[in-house]
Structure 1
Amino acid sequence: MSAILFVDRDGTLIEEPSDFQIDRFEKLRFVPGVIPAMLRLGEAGYEFVMVTNQDGLGTSAFPRADFDGPHELMMQVFASQGIVFREVLIDSSLPADNAPTRKPGLGLMHGYLRDRSIDWSRSAMVGDRETDVVFARNLGVRAFQFRTKQFGGDWDWAGIAHALLSTTRTAEVVRNTRETRITADVDLDRADEPRVTTGLGFFDHMLEALGKHGGFALGLRCEGDLHIDEHHTVEDCGLALGQALRQALGDKRGIGRYGFTLPMDEALATAALDFSGRPYFVFEGSFQRERVGELPTELVPHFFRSLCETAGLNLHLRVHGDNDHHKIEACFKAVARALRQAIRRDGNELPSTKGVL
């Protein structure tokens, strides 16, 4: 899904003219920091849409010729730096007209509001006036009021880029069924002691290893129908955790994507995974014991299959050895280490030639 930065024009991209009675565009000055910030945002996958009120554009009071030349020059400068706007939306009505197309109205936004490919949670609006803030509120996106002497505001372009690109990758999933009640939360950019309670001691130990060796904060609480058996608890924990990982990863920009072979005494487990968005699980291995602790060994591969389904994860897991405890623990730790490699963020590029993961 694409994130869009809606941007006002005067006072946000170029400095607001100081005297509207003289030549409105006598001098074209770019707002400090706008080009470096928009380059960073563009590299991170943001698309740009300009939304501007130009009072009376096309009338004798504001002829098109006064606008078109400077505007085209501005667009050429942006394009020369690699900054391209998806669309430029201009409303030329006067404030007294109270036109629905005039910000903060959404009359120009109908096409975007129907576009299901837009990630509204990451999209935002930058403008220098209170009307831009109200426009963002009406649109349901985050507002950044750019700092100017004329209208106030708290933000500059460097701060806006930092705020949009430094968002932590967190998610919380609540999954309640007739069989289980689960809350799973992850923070992929923070290491912390895992908090796990499922009612199955050995399973808790394995999930704690997944978070600890995965290098991310993990919380998971499950109240399941253990009076029937362990199947629903193990399966649904995998589904909830996979969903949380997928949500926290967002558009997956900058991740390693792939990733581990890990020994556990005489046991050896290999986990090769890919956050491809296409769930697929292959398991090679076997267990001699029916249970380790309270965990049925047949549910070990089933847990990872459930994790893959909701995480959009392709995982090939292989294990061999003599001790089933060691083999299961090696599986969880190998997957955890592969996850650590795959979710680590390094830059903003999307690791895919398709342009989406």
Structure 2
Amino acid sequence: MSPTVLTPGSTAKRALLAATAAVAALTLAACSSGSAEEEPASSDSAAPDTSAEAAAASYGDIAVQLSWIKNEEFSGEFFADSKGYYTDAGFETVSLTPGPSTGVAELVSGQADVALSDAVSIGSGIGNEGAPLKIIGATYQKNPFTVLSLADGGNIMTPEDMVGKKIGVQDSNTALFLALLAANGLTEDDVEIVPVQYDPAPLVSGEVDGFIAYLTNESLILQAEGHEVTNLPFADNGLPFVAETFSVTDDAIANDREKLKAFLVAEIKGWTDAVNDPAEGSRLAVEEYGADLGLDPEVSAQGATVQAEELVVSDETAENGLFTISDELQTETVASLAGAGIEITEDQLFDMSLLDEVYAENPDLVAYAG
């Protein structure tokens, strides 16, 4: 989701209706407008593959919709491309299309084969719109969204601190924010939602008291600029859902299963590198894949380190491998969606069978720690 600053993120029924409308509006907008220019990824070098079957296969092209711009958030994808893991897996090209986007519209329309999204957005699409989607893995085991505020401004430390405050919310994050409110017994009537873009300038100027952001992005940016910030993490306040989810259509699972598994193998290798060498992941973002974005090297390095140490890994991944989602976290995720009026079951939202097969066929990939 969250932007790196480019200086050249009623009742329960009303919350449900608002969330549904937000997803529908997002779907229409994403279908009718493009984001940043797509840059096809090409793999130049080769690395040893643990699966002879994958190496022998040819899957052609695959289109991946990223949730945000090409910053360190996608360092695993950059490793997979630059070190040839996608090529080894049998892909001719892998297109990494930058967002911002939840990926729902792109998946449903067939513009993307895989979308990096989040559980609330995908759950909203399934539960409220009937979208035939599934989450097959998650890069982030912990939800990185936060209500960011200035310590000498809104200083939002608890959900109750939001009451009566102006909260800057981006279009793509509306459903997420409504879910946060609902999970804490609040509604949109308790706050003033101010439409914003992804630059936190309105927070710094005082136009809003809080701003929907990423812990690994805007929060670090403002601190680097000398601001003392306060964070209200979604994960610690009723929404412990997974994020940067590998999301696909039911049809792809049924008809392109081996292709998706090959993609996951390459992704696991890429994120293994990203976890063990966040500095290089940051460099790839700043100097190569996001070279035209004016990314701050210091902030990018911090973000890459935080995500590698706190978001991507967990007790579950240590035991069962990257991207796996424990039964407990699946249950917590579904419960958090129910609190926002999104009624969906674990089986409707998740299909972990592909990762199960990947790790059964490539057991050496489980041990990612360097």
TM over 0.5: no
| Larger radius of gyration between Structure 1 and Structure 2 | 1
Bigger RCO (CA 8 Å, 6+ sep): 2
Q: TM-score, normalised by structure 2?
A: 0.20
Larger helix proportion of the pair: 2
Q: TM-score, normalised by structure 1?
A: 0.20
